[in-house]
């Protein structure tokens, strides 16, 4: 194997080993980047949903703690979907009251699905969990707000059965309004 005729074979083996090492490093870098992106997305959802959280150390644990505090303070319903202890999405709901039906209602205040899990039914599963909770509580309806420019969310909500609110179709659809204090 030390003869000059084996020199191209030796160089070929060295090149193959080097290529293998480079390939493994590239794969490790790609996986690390994907994990970092997922963690950053989860941290963003946590900080956006719970602005009081300024430092994120363990996003799934902190999200669960914030949801627990929120439920205790408001008597609200929340649900998260976890895959191998990794949060996939979050829904926060608050019970209200319909004066027209004289029954409780459940308002979906926040719903978020990590980008890596979108289009896989996570949002629909969270909506179904909210609906099940509302039915158990005797609620007459689910409500939510959505930006008209969020076509993906609108399509998801329509698929689940949501529609624009109109108490009396002859009077037109309801319009959500607010006033900053």
Residue 6 lies inside a defined structural domain of this protein = no
Using CA atoms, how far apart are residues 128 and 121, in angstroms rounded to an integer? 10
pLDDT for the residue 27? 87
| Confidence (pLDDT) at 74 | 59
Instruction: Tell me: pLDDT of 141 over 90.
Output: yes
pLDDT on residue 48: 78
Question: What is the predicted pLDDT for the residue at 165?
Answer: 86
pLDDT tier, 173 (very low <50, low <70, confident <90, very high otherwise): confident
**Residue whose entry in the numeric block shows the structure tokens 């946590």:** 46
Whether residue 143 has pLDDT greater than 90: yes
**Per-residue confidence (pLDDT) for residue 1, from 0 to 100:** 63
The answer as to whether 1 is a domain residue is: no
Q: Could you tell me which residues are beta bridge partners of residue 80?
A: 90
- The residues, any chain, with a CB within 8 Å of residue 149's CB and separated by 6 or more, are none
pLDDT score of 140: 95
Tokens coding 52: 């009081």
Which CATH number do you get for residue 154?
3.40.630.30
Q: In Å, how far are 125, 161, 178 from 154, measured between CA atoms?
A: 16, 11, 21
Per the domain annotation, does 18 fall within a domain?
A: no
CA distance linking residue 20 with residue 138, whole number of Å: 61
Task: For residue 33, give both structure tokens.
Answer: 């980047």
Q: Are strands 77-83 and 86-98 parallel, antiparallel or unpaired?
A: antiparallel
What percentage of the chain exceeds 90 in pLDDT? 27
Q: Which residue has the higher pLDDT, 102 or 169?
A: 102
Domain assignment present for 46: yes
- pLDDT one-digit tens code per residue, 112-132: 888 888 888 889 999 999 999
Q: Residue 21 falls within a domain, yes or no?
A: no
Question: Which tokens sit at 86?
Answer: 């990794």
Q: Is residue 152 part of a domain?
A: yes
Q: Does residue 110 register a pLDDT over 70?
A: yes
- Between 55-59, 69-73, 88-92, 134-138, the lowest mean confidence (pLDDT) is in 69-73
User: Number of folded domains in the chain?
Assistant: 1
Q: What is the pLDDT of residue 170?
A: 87
In a domain, 7, yes or no: no
pTM here is: 0.57
């Amino acid at each position: 194997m030390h003869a000059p005729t084996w020199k191209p074979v030796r160089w070929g083996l060295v090149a193959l080993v080097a290529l293998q090492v480079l390939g493994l490093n590239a794969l490790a870098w790609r996986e690390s980047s994907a994990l970092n992106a997922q963690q950053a997305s989860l941290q963003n959802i946590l900080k956006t949903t719970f602005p009081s959280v300024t430092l994120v150390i363990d996003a799934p644990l902190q999200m669960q703690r914030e949801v627990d505090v929120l439920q205790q303070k408001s008597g609200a319903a929340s649900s998260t979907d976890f895959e191998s202890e990794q949060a996939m999405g979050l829904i926060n709901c608050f019970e209200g009251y319909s004066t027209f039906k004289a029954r409780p209602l459940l308002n979906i205040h926040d719903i978020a699905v990590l980008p890596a899990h979108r289009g896989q039914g996570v949002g629909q599963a969270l909506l179904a969990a909210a609906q099940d909770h509302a039915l158990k509580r005797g609620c007459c309806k689910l409500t939510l707000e959505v930006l008209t420019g969020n076509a993906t969310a609108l399509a998801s909500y329509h698929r689940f059965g949501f529609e624009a609110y109109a108490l009396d179709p002859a009077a037109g659809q309801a319009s959500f309004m607010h006033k900053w204090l």
